[in-house]
């Protein structure tokens, strides 16, 4: 049956694939009606798809089977024989067949000469009498392998000739599975797949350095061992390169085309010279399959005449677009089984997988798959380098094809028409470039990621000196302008509008601008929930992000409500075990920890860790984060030994997963120092703080916010040890870092000022201490709102200063407000509430209300003594206050119970 021909542009080819796949799923009786509706206004497209559907693939299979059977009989008549178990090949004994290719059969064999034990793979020529050239290729492969010594290339051990003249190779036996199967069976995420692929590139680059081009890179030729080590096999059709970089022609006979069509580069199909760029193309095909689960083109051996046109003329879809096409629901509303398998093996919902691929990954893959060899990566090493740059968040070399290039391809495909009028071709190029920006119909066909990139590029063009004309434009001003334009200009593109709002909302979160973050995330949530038909759980994702921001504003009840809704939605959409659900559990644990519900916090943290662990090694970093959180929770319960084990596990996970230069190592080292301080191991804690500071400076530099966090915690330790001068240096350095990183109004700056103010209080510099605390209060009220727990901490510290400055009456209103905020989130057993109650008791005692002050001081002492131990600084201070109180009440015996060495005045948390 001949198929009707249709002019297949990339977009049109994608439409054909989409409609063919959908129609093929339907009963034959329903296909005509479906195509009539789907192809309305395009009868040519409908007829073409119908002709595809009428191709009897079963009949093709019968014909292929008949040809294969006849060929097998002919081969038997030509003397080919099977080499059975037990047969000797040199010093080896064959055990069983493990594979067969176009050139030879591969057997598993054991060394059988009693010299030593060794399992090997032996390749022997088959069909030798039918095709003598195969023997020459095997000899060439033997020479190629003998010259290659690389840990990711299967090694050649031996070679020789059977008594009947059959040559053989003895190679390293690789007990592994094809690389695509390995990735899917182990549910590797995209980053892990990219890292594994990068290792394969090193082997190919090594072969190229030794003047060998492989020419048949495909999953079955790359096995991955159980330890995760990829091994490159089968140089059976490899060619040696001459000095110019072209493959020599001596290994395959003239006119013979030996390749796997699905992986073949355009120059292979056209019979043009083979270079290292051919392997680069095949690696691009391989990476495409690892990322999306399918090849960039659908070629069928039942229609061989179409293969050259598809490979040479049809532009491949970007991987992110391919994922979106693959995961479109069938007419029944369900996902195809293949689509479900692709998503499950990558641990992501369809939209999240597409978003993970769009941008850099799309560009990298498409650059490797360019039709012209000279437009691909210059070397495989450059290809691998772009993968590394992407994984480390650096700019990549690959760039999306320009409209100029797309237009030139259009002109080349229509030479006859364009040659009629050169002027018309120029106008066509100008029209294509202009309409790529202005024409909404064309813009809608472009990838969503490119639209987002163009929008953001326009926003960030404003700081260009040519546009700013001398004005200084800050990052916050850019964000404000961008947020306003998203609301006003993208109303007709709600999906992009919601995505950009979430993105800028997260940026505001990182800047500490929580009000702006909440506003954008709430609007993004409204659009996803009320305007878009959320199929992939993006509503739940946005609720998770919004909850994290609300926690920073101390709106814990609303954060918990959103997280519980997200949990229900994720369970319904994605099942009882999925990464988004595990992330919800993690944030719920954070809420409970912040509000003092330690039992619930511990339960959710453990559930998050267990779920991420069960989902596979691609979630090791999330497991580490969960263990870090659980360690902090257990510190609150004084379960310090288990917290110690968890933190060291978290550090080990990060080192094994991401290396010794990951920023989380600095953060976890800081937390470990806090733990050591809680255990009373102050010398070790101090040394660990300095280690965390050193790691942070090495990895992130001298101005990163994380450095400020380590400095302020070191300052608090030094303050506890009454090394006031050193503590002041640490606090002021932390203040410098956080100001440079976040500006003057970030909560971190407020935290540093409170810490510095408390130190200055203990140094009897009460005026400067008061100034620092009041400035911190202004920052907190501006950035966090009036009810945040940081406000309560600052008010408590300010009241302590008023108490010691002889202004207890001014402190009364401050501490009452602090207690109102504390009691909103914490019960009476929470250490933060107890610390504020102790300062309130001290204030009442100074005001002469001893009867009310006594239970406040006594109860807070019991809570903090259980939390900190009997010899902590604040426990000793409260004992001193109780001693003063009982002395003032004329009860010297009770005062004596709290006798200890004199201590400084109050320094609350």
Query: In this structure, are residues 506 and 545 in contact, taking their beta carbons and an 8 Å threshold?
Result: yes
Rounded distance between C-alpha atoms, residue 334 and residue 353, angstroms: 18
* 3-state per-residue secondary structure call for 397-424: CCCCCCHHHHHHHHHHHCHHHHHCCHHH
Tokens 């691609």 locate to 618
To the nearest 10°, report the CA torsion of 43, 46, 50, 52: 120
Sign of the dihedral through C-alpha 252, 255, 261, 267: positive
What is the residue-wise DSSP string for 745-809?
TSHHHHHHHHHHHHHHHHTT-HHHHHHHHHHHHHHHHHHT-TT-HHHHHHHHHHHHHHHHTT-HH
The CB-based long-range contact list for 730-733 (8 Å cut-off, 24+ gap) reads 731/755, 731/756, 731/759, 732/756, 733/708
Q: Is 216 a catalytic residue?
A: yes
Q: Decide: residue 784, CB within 10 A, 0-12 exposed, 13-18 middle, 19+ buried.
A: buried
Report the chain's terminal Cα–Cα distance, integer Å: 83
Task: Give residues with Cβ within 8 angstroms of 328, minimum separation 6.
Answer: 18
| Residue among 216, 362, 534, 804 flagged as catalytic | 216
Rounded distance between C-alpha atoms, residue 860 and residue 885, angstroms: 15
Rounded distance between C-alpha atoms, residue 578 and residue 581, angstroms: 5
Rounded distance between C-alpha atoms, residue 429 and residue 742, angstroms: 46
Element (H, E) at 171: strand 167-172
Query: In this structure, are residues 258 and 196 in contact, taking their beta carbons and an 8 Å threshold?
Result: no
Q: Decide: residue 787, CB within 10 A, 0-12 exposed, 13-18 middle, 19+ buried.
A: middle
Q: Measuring CA to CA, which residue among 267, 234, 237, 260 is closest to residue 249?
A: 237
Phi, psi of 557 (to 5 degrees): -65, -45
Write the CA distances from 117 to 85, 246, 538, 716, integer angstroms: 18, 42, 56, 63
| Strands 92-100 and 104-111, bridge-based pairing | antiparallel
Sign of the dihedral through C-alpha 309, 314, 317, 318: positive
H-only helix segments in 414-474:
415-419, 422-438, 440-445, 448-460, 465-468
Largest CA-CA distance found in the chain, in angstroms, rounded: 119
Cα three-residue angle 733-735-737, rounded to 5 degrees: 70
3-state SS class at 737: helix
What's the DSSP call for residue 533? -
Q: Was 123 annotated as part of a binding site?
A: yes
Please name every residue paired with 240 in a beta bridge, in sequence order, or none if there are none.
212
Q: Measuring CA to CA, which residue among 95, 137, 101 is closest to residue 120?
A: 95
Give the active site residues: 216
Q: Which residues are annotated as a binding site?
A: 123
Q: Which residues are annotated as a binding site for ATP?
A: 123
């Amino acid at each position: 049956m001949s198929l009707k021909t249709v002019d297949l542009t990339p977009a049109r080819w994608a439409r054909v694939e989409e409609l063919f796949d959908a129609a093929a799923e339907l009963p034959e009786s329903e296909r005509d009606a479906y195509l009539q509706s789907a192809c309305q206004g395009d009868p040519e497209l409908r007829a073409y798809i119908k002709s595809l559907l009428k191709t009897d693939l079963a009949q093709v299979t019968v014909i292929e089977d008949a040809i294969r059977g006849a060929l097998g009989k002919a081969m038997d008549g030509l003397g080919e024989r099977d080499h059975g178990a037990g047969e000797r090949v040199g010093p080896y004994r064959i055990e069983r067949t493990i594979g067969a290719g176009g050139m030879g059969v591969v057997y598993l064999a054991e060394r059988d000469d009693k010299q030593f034990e060794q399992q090997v793979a032996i390749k022997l020529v088959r069909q030798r009498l039918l095709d003598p050239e195969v023997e020459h290729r095997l000899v060439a492969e033997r020479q190629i392998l003998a010259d290659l010594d690389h840990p990711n290339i299967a090694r050649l051990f031996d070679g020789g000739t059977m008594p009947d003249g059959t040559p053989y190779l003895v190679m390293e036996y690789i007990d592994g599975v094809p690389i695509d199967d390995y990735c899917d069976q182990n549910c590797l995420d995209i980053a892990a797949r990219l890292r594994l692929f990068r290792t394969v590139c090193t082997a190919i680059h090594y072969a190229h350095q030794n003047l060998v081009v492989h020419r048949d890179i495909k999953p079955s030729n790359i096995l991955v061992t159980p330890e995760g080590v990829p091994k490159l096999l089968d140089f059976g059709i490899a060619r040696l390169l001459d000095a110019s970089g072209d493959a020599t022609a001596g290994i395959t006979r003239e006119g013979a085309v030996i390749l796997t069509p699905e992986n073949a580069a355009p120059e292979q199909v056209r019979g043009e010279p083979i270079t290292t760029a051919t392997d680069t193309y095949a690696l691009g095909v391989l990476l495409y399959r690892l990322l999306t689960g399918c090849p960039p083109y659908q070629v069928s051996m039942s229609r061989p005449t179409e293969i050259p046109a598809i490979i040479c003329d049809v532009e491949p879809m970007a991987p992110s677009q391919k994922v979106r096409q693959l995961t479109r629901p069938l007419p029944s509303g369900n996902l195809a089984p293949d689509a479900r398998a692709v998503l499950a093996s990558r641990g992501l919902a369809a939209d999240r997988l597409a978003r993970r691929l769009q941008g850099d990954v799309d560009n990298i893959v498409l650059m490797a798959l360019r039709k012209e060899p000279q437009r691909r990566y210059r070397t495989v090493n450059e290809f691998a380098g772009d993968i590394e740059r992407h994984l480390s968040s650096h700019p990549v070399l690959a760039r999306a094809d320009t409209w100029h290039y797309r237009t030139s391809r259009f002109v080349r495909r229509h030479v006859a028409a364009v040659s009629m009028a050169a002027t018309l071709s120029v106008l066509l190029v100008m029209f294509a470039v202009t309409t790529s920006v202005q024409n909404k119909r064309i813009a809608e066909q472009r990838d969503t990621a490119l639209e987002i990139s163009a929008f953001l590029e326009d926003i960030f063009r404003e700081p260009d000196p040519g546009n700013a004309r001398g004005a200084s434009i800050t990052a916050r001003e850019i964000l404000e302008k961008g947020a306003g334009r998203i609301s006003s200009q993208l109303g007709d593109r709600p999906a992009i509008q919601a995505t950009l709002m979430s993105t800028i909302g997260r940026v505001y979160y990182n800047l500490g601008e929580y009000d702006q973050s909440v506003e954008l995330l709430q609007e993004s949530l409204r659009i996803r929930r009320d305007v878009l038909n959320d199929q992939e759980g993006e509503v739940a994702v946005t609720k998770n992000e919004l909850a994290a921001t609300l926690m920073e504003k101390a709106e814990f009840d609303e954060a918990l409500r959103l997280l519980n809704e997200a949990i229900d939605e994720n369970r319904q959409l994605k099942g009882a075990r999925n990464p988004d659900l595990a992330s919800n559990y993690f944030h719920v644990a954070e809420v409970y920890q912040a509000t003092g519900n330690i039992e619930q916090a511990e339960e959710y943290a453990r559930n998050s860790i267990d779920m991420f662990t069960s989902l596979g090694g691609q979630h090791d970093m999330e497991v580490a984060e969960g263990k870090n959180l659980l360690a902090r929770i257990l510190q609150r319960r004084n379960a310090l030994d288990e917290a110690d084990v968890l933190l060291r596990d978290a550090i080990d996970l990060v080192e094994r997963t991401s290396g010794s230069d990951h920023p989380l190592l600095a953060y976890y080292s800081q937390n470990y120092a806090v733990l050591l301080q809680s255990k009373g191991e102050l010398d070790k804690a101090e040394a660990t703080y300095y280690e965390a500071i050193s790691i942070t400076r090495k990895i992130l530099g001298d101005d990163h916010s994380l450095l400020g966090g380590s400095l302020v915690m070191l300052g608090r330790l030094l303050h506890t040890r009454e090394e006031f001068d050193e503590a002041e240096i640490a606090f002021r350095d932390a203040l410098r870092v956080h100001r440079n990183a976040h500006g003057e109004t970030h909560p971190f700056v407020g935290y540093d000022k409170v810490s510095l103010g408390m130190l200055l209080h203990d140094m009897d510099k009460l005026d400067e201490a008061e100034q620092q605390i009041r400035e911190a209060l202004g920052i907190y009220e501006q950035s966090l709102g009036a009810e945040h727990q940081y406000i309560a901490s600052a008010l408590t510290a300010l009241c302590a200063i008023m108490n010691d400055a002889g202004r207890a009456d001014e402190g009364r209103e401050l501490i009452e407000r602090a207690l109102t905020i504390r009691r909103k989130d914490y019960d009476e057993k929470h250490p933060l509430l107890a610390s504020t109650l102790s300062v309130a008791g001290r204030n009442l005692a100074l005001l002469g209300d001893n009867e009310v002050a006594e239970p406040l001081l006594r109860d807070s002492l019991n809570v903090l003594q259980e939390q900190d131990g009997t010899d902590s600084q604040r426990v000793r201070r409260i004992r001193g206050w109780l001693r003063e109180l009982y002395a003032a009440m004329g009860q010297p015996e009770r005062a004596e119970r709290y006798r200890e060495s004199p201590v400084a005045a109050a320094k609350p948390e």
